Structure 1
Amino acid sequence: MKPLDPKLLSHAAPARRYVALVTLTGIISAALIIAQCFLISLAISPVIDGTADLSDALPLVGMLALVVLGRMFVTWVQESFGHRAALETIADLRGQVLARAGALGPRWLASKTTSIVTFTTRGLDDLEPYFVKYLPQLLLTATVTPASLIVILLLDWPSAILIVFCLPIIPIFMILIGKMTENTSQKKLAAMASLGDQVLDLIAGLPTLKALGRERGPAKRVDELGKSYTETTMAALRIAFLSGTVLEFLATLSTALVAVEVGFRMVYGYLDLTTGLVIIMLTPEIFKPLREVGSQYHASTDGLAAAEQAISVIETPVPARGDTSSPDLSHSDIVIANLSVEAEGRGVTAPANLSAVIRPGRITALEGPSGAGKSTTVSVLLGLLEPTFGTVTVGGVPLTAIDPDSWWSQITWVPQRPVLVPGTVAENIGGVDDAAAALTGFDEVLATLPNGWETPIGQGGVGLSLGQRQRLALTRALRERRPLLVLDEPTAHLDARSENQIVSAVRAAQANGQTVLIIAHRQTLLDIADEVITVTAMEGAAS
């Protein structure tokens, strides 16, 4: 990504506003710096020459104090608004990435989950140094440096020529060091993603590993990844310190050359004291922004690398969506015709050549062995996945032509791991509904909770067992009473008694006029189904 990439500005409105602000403050800073150098020179030169005393310099000193206060205020504005712009930009990019990831569907997301988690959390946080430290100096380079150089050119062209000769040395070294830093940042982000991937997989599979007595097995691999991340981080820091030292040396050396040249000419009377002092004070201000850009660049490369990945996700094309309003699912058949979906990387088509009809007001069960494509079939019906072959029509209208929002507004989906957010039980269900809780057996769960409906739960339902979370989600589904209720193995984490309560809840949903589609493994759910659809897989690609 470029130091000031148009893509970042186009996708983040806070960044555009901040760039405009920093450009304005940069112009003001250039004027204040030049004014400061002239005021100092005009105040002390006559005193040194003996043509004036200290009292004559007091008005200039007062004006100088105002200029210094002005520079302090401008710096405060840049840094305070920089922090705010960074936080707003990070939040904006995260929101856009998550929205686009959701629009791209679960299969795409499953292949990118860890990398998205990495760069939308720790990765994008590194954008803050870019906005607070790097970007202001970059824009000051475009304002203060040329303005100061023009002033020196008007005052003394030999000094300006010497500065112009020394000036390119810093950008050349910046480019070389920047390339090294960029490569190291990419390696650091990749190492962080690998470490995060391994740790997330380990946490997800820890119960199984512990049951098998293998929980200590992955420790060596995680330790290796941790060391790799440490090494790449230290390499980035070494380059950062090296770049800062080299750029500081080059800037100091260039300033010294100009100062020596000006000093000799003042000694031999070819340059007056006032002009010489202005040139000597302005020369460091010409090199300072360039030096700061180089030394701060390493602080921004990690954030820019994450932002580049975020923008690549945001710009990923979303499959075309229809705009036809969905037929009423209370009275419309859902017809599946020769549906086939190729499983990526498995060489399997699951489901394969599936044809079925889901009729309104009935309980329909999808049955078949694991890996046959039952969940994939549901993903296609929900409009979250494009089939490889075949079609799905609703009341004669192709699903691909239907507006997703009008389609989803008629569906309640309860996956095996329902989405629960931090808050009270009532907030997760959408309100208090004792009738729905009684149907699912969730009233028994409420009786065990310390504050009943007002009991707080954590992210993902922390505080409840898997079976309790499932019943909470089913209670929420019954309360919504949408025309189509889709359940993914709702009795998977329940005992026989709780299973019977879920069966009763499914029958109650049908009695309320809902169409119920169940992914079923247990016979109790298959027994209550009006229709059972057998889903099968096929080795190789669909034809």
Structure 2
Amino acid sequence: MRLLDQRLLARARAARRLLILDSALGLVGAVLVVVQATLIARIVTRAFDGAPLRAVAVELGVLAVTFAGRGAIAWGFEVAGRRAAWTVLSELRLALVERRLRTQPAGLDGVEAGEIAATAVQGVDGLEAYFGRYLPQVVLAAVVPFVVVAWVATIDVGSALLLLITLPLVPLFMWLIGRYTSERTRERWLALRLLSTHFLDVVRGLPTLRAFNRSRAQGAVISDVGERYRRAAMGTLRVSFLSGSVLELAATLGVALVAVTVGVRLVDGGIGLQAGLTVLILAPELYAPLRRLGAQFHASADGVAVAERMLAQLEAPASAARSGRLVPFSPAEAPVRLEAVSFAYPSRPRLVLDRLDLDLLPGETVALVGPSGVGKSTVAMLLLGFAEPTEGCITVGGLNLSDCRLDVWRRQIAWVPQRPTIFRGTIAGNIRLGAPKASDQRTRDAAMLAGADRFIRALPLGYETVVGDGGRPLSTGERRRIALARAFLRDAPLVILDEPTADLDRTSADVVAEAIERLRAGRTVLMIAHRPELVRRADRVVYLDTGGTALIRNEAA
């Protein structure tokens, strides 16, 4: 593990500001250490010479100010570190979310939601320890020893050389221990990621587990994963305690060697009392920053592991289409074409789409049908810019979509996925997802067009009913109608419908089909469907072959 992760400092402005502030505070703190030791030695020496208390009143006052100054610097380190930790983690979280939204919206990299949650949420304590305690100690460990040795050299060159000889013992032990500690920390973090991911899967699948009487078995699995995490955590703590003892021993041996040498020279008259006391007082201060650095090394290991994982995700190659600079044509005025498009998922060895040609003409409703797994939803994903074709291109009025601004392009698309996401919030807020500034009247009109107004008004709080996690549960048909209401409210020229009536009963499917009939008026619609009654509403039907690799024919509905 590196003392300072350059990638972290490069990404986080607050981290760079903290390092500058810590350097300034560390330099002032090192000077105060020297001043404090010199004043104590001077006061003790004058006391041995029989000086009265008022004769050292000035030194005592300055010493009190020095003590207060060191306390203020320690407080400044802690406060600045905590604020930097919160700021840096917020910046990293924002960058991670933005990166995934822009480059991995479909989650094709295989990173699981539980891992992202564990990395972005549970890492705050570790980063707080890193910035609040570890990073200041790095600065102190780099500044204080050199200032102390330099000051001792002006008092007694022999003592300064002795300090230089014993000083490398602690960093050497830290390096040896750190190599082992970093591996154990990564093992512990891997166990935590596994536990978080598995626990999230179990919570999501509780109804299924209960239905198949597998809840007890999953409880045993969680217990095993938790035990693995416990063993990894205890192993890390064991290393931390043992390494602390080793570092304490190395520092104690160094101080003892200096103390014995200075004591012998004091007896022989080779060094004065004030100089000897100054060296003796500064010797522990020489090793103190290194000892504390070793102690904080383990406390910050989690933070560094979290930061490394977040940075690895931030620097992962993108799967989404790159955003260009051109403004795309509107699908209401220009045709959308997939030209010899091929695509393969990273986790699959074969092509899902193989040189697919597909035209979407303005105002036309096209039904895309075929067996499951042939790449119908993949076509929708490519049109939304969630991924780039492996080969071929998508054009809008002759412009390559990869050369166009994706934010402008997506504003012209209304998407109704097969499994619509309902966010925690009111029903009205969920409908406004595509048009946040829409009025209440427009929101209700969209719900009426989608066939959702009746069931929404039947709820006690109507459009202000809270849904999503912890809110009122919605049926599959109700979710679809809310998703259709989003599409009506967005009023985009291109509508993509992915299995809009799948898993619905006949009544709900009829309501959704009627809403789709109203939605497709004056718009270009790509409708992925299986049900014949829905396919018959299309202007043209496009079939994919059973292998999902080629378009075999177009025909009017």
TM-score, structure 2 as length reference: 0.91
Aligned residue runs from structure 1 range 319-334, under 5 A: 320-334=322-336
- Per the TM alignment, residue 493 of structure 1 is displaced from its structure 2 partner at its CA by 4.9
Larger mean Cα displacement after TM superposition, 392-401 or 449-458: 449-458
Which residue of the partner structure matches residue 500 of structure 1? 510
Residue 479 of structure 2 is aligned to residue 477 of structure 1: no
8 A contact 1:373–1:537 mirrored in 2? no
Q: 2 CA distance for matches of 1:204 and 1:287?
A: 52
Deviation at 1:16, TM superposition (A): 0.7
Distance in 1 separating the partners of 2:139 and 2:488? 57
TM-superposition CA deviations, 1:482-507 (whole Å, max 9, x none): 11121222223543223222222212
Amino acid at match of 2:275: T
For residues 5-54 of structure 1, the C-alpha deviation after alignment (integer angstroms, 9 at most, x for no partner) is 2211101111111111111110111111111112222223211221x111
In 2, distance between residues paired with 1:435 and 1:259? 86
Deviation at 1:452, TM superposition (A): 1.8
Query: What is aligned with 1:418?
Result: 420
1:416-495 alignment to 2 at 5 Å?
416-430=418-432, 431-432=439-440, 433-459=443-469, 463-495=473-505
Residues 349, 538 of structure 1: 8 Å contact kept = no
Sequence identity percentage? 39
CA distance in 1, matches of 2:548, 2:444: 48
Paired residue secondary structure (1:306): helix
Residue 87 of structure 2 is matched in structure 1 by 88
Task: Name the residue aligned to 2:281.
Answer: 281
Q: How does 1:238-253 map to 2 (within 5 A)?
A: 238-253=238-253
Q: Which moved more, 1:63-72 or 1:13-22?
A: 63-72
Compute the displacement of 1:107 (Å).
Answer: 5.2
The Cα shift of 1:175 comes to: 0.5
**Distance in 2 between residues matched to 1:326 and 1:237, nearest whole Å:** 57
Aligned CA distance change for structure 1 residues 490 and 540 (closer, same or farther; 3 Å): closer
Task: State the SS of the aligned residue for 1:275.
Answer: helix
Q: Is the 8 A contact 2:354 2:550 kept in 1?
A: no
Q: 2:49 matched to which residue of 1? A: 49
| Distance in structure 2 (CA, Å) of the matches to 1:154 and 1:274 | 13
**Superimposed CA distance per residue, residues 341-378 of structure 1 (whole angstroms, 9 cap, x where no aligned partner):** 22444344323343221122222222122111111111
The CA deviation at 1:252 is 1.8
Maintained 8 Å contact 1:333/1:357? yes
The residue matched to 2:497 in structure 1 has which SS?
strand
Instruction: Report the 3-state secondary structure (helix = DSSP H, G, I; strand = E; otherwise coil) of the residue aligned with 1:111.
Output: coil
Q: 1:30, 1:148 within 8 Å by CA — same for their partners in 2?
A: yes
> 1:445 Cα shift?
2.6
CA contact 1:373–1:536 (8 Å) conserved in 2: no
Question: Aligned to 1:393, what secondary structure does the other structure show?
Answer: strand
Query: Is the Cα–Cα contact under 8 Å of residues 108 and 345 in structure 2 kept in the other structure?
Result: no
Deviations along 1:287-340, one digit per CA (max 9) or x if unpaired, are 011111111111112221221222222223446433221011111111223333
Cα distance change of structure 1 residues 82 and 109 upon mapping to structure 2, 3 Å threshold: farther
Seen in structure 2, the aligned counterparts of structure 1 residues 208 and 521 have a Cα distance that, compared at 3 Å, is farther
Contact persistence 1:348–1:539 (CA under 8 A):
no
The number of residues matched between the two structures is: 540
* Residues in 2 aligned to 1:460 and 1:493: alpha-carbon distance in whole angstroms: 24
- Structure 1, unpaired ranges of 5+: none
Give the residue type in structure 2 aligned to 1:314.
L
The Cα offsets for residues 91-116 of structure 1, whole Å up to 9 and x where unpaired, read as 11122122222332345545112443
Amino acid in structure 1 at the alignment position of 2:453: D
1:292 aligned residue: 292
Residues 519 and 209 of structure 1, relative CA distance in 2, 3 Å threshold: farther
Deviation per residue, 1:127-147 (Å, 9 max, x gap): 111111111011001111110
CA contact (8 A) 1:347 1:541 kept: no
The alignment status of 1:181 with 2:181, answered yes or no, reads yes
1:30 is matched by which residue type in structure 2?
Answer: A
Q: 1:525 aligns with which of 529, 534, 547?
A: 534
Equivalence for 2:544: 535
Q: In the alignment, residue 311 of structure 1 is paired with which amino acid? A: L
Q: State the match for 2:73 in structure 1.
A: 74
Q: CA–CA distance in 1 between the matches of 2:531 and 2:125?
A: 46
Instruction: Name the CA distance, whole Å, in 2 between partners of 1:252 and 1:275.
Output: 21
Tell me the amino acid that sits aligned with residue 491 of structure 2: R
Asked if the contact 1:412–1:484 (Cα under 8 Å) also holds between the matched residues in 2, the reply is yes
The change in CA–CA distance for 1:80 and 1:4 in structure 2 (over 3 A counts) is same
For the aligned residues, what is the CA RMSD?
2.3
Query: What secondary structure is seen at the aligned counterpart in 2 of 1:217?
Result: helix
Partner of 2:377: 375
1:244 Cα deviation from its structure 2 partner: 1.1
Aligned amino acid, residue 84 of structure 2:
A
- Structure 1's 217 and 533: CA in aligned 2 closer, same or farther, altered over 3 A? farther
Note the C-alpha offset of 1:417: 3.1
Q: Distance in 1 between matches of 2:498 and 2:125?
A: 36
Paired residues for 1:120-519 under 5 Å? 120-123=120-123, 125-318=125-318, 320-430=322-432, 431-432=439-440, 433-459=443-469, 463-511=473-521, 513-519=522-528
Q: In structure 1, how many angstroms separate the alpha carbons of the residues matched to 2:475 and 2:41?
A: 76
Give the Å deviation of 1:65.
Answer: 1.3
- Determine the C-alpha separation between the residues in 1 that align with 2:364 and 2:158: 91
Cα displacement (A) at 1:522: 2.5
**Which range is displaced more, 337-346 or 385-394?**
337-346
Quick one: distance in 2 between partners of 1:182 and 1:172?
16
* Letter in structure 2 aligned against 1:369: P
C-alpha distance in structure 2 between counterparts of 1:110 and 1:7, whole Å: 21
Q: Secondary structure at the match of 1:293?
A: helix
SS of equivalent residue, structure 1 residue 450: coil
CA distance in structure 2 between the partners assigned to 1:161 and 1:58 by the alignment = 34
Provide the rounded CA distance (Å) in 1 between the counterparts of 2:136 and 2:269.
Answer: 39
Q: Deviations over 1:455-477 (max 9, x none)?
A: 23344976433432332222122
Alpha-carbon shift at residue 122 of structure 1 (Å): 2.3
Query: Aligned equivalents of 1:148 and 1:398: distance in 2?
Result: 65
What is the identity, as a one-letter code, of the residue corresponding to 2:537?
A: I
1:42 and 1:449 map into 2 onto residues whose CA distance is 82
2:64 alignment partner in structure 1: 65
Inter-partner Cα distance in structure 2 for 1:536 and 1:40: 89
Query: Is the partner of 1:412 in helix, strand or coil?
Result: strand
| TM-fit CA distance, 1:395 | 1.2
**Partner amino acid, structure 1, of 2:464:** E
Counterpart code for 2:34: I
Does the residue aligned with 2:340 lie in a helix, a strand or coil? strand
Opposite residue 403 of structure 2, the aligned amino acid is: A
Q: Shift of the alpha carbon at 1:217?
A: 3.5
TM-aligned CA distance change 1:109 to 1:283, over 3 Å? farther
1:417 and 1:92 map into 2 onto residues whose CA distance is 31
Cα distance in 2 for partners of 1:363, 1:436 equals: 20
Closer, same or farther: CA 109–154 of 1 in aligned 2, 3 Å: farther
- Alpha-carbon distance between aligned partners in 2 of 1:26 and 1:343, rounded to the nearest angstrom: 52
Describe the SS at the equivalent of 1:28: helix
Give 2:533's aligned amino acid: T
Deviation of 1:68 (Å):
1.2
Of 107-116 and 3-12, more deviation after overlay is shown by 107-116
Matched to 2:290, the amino acid is: L
Relative distance call for 1:71 and 1:209 in structure 2 (3 A) is same
**Post-superposition shift, 1:286?**
0.9
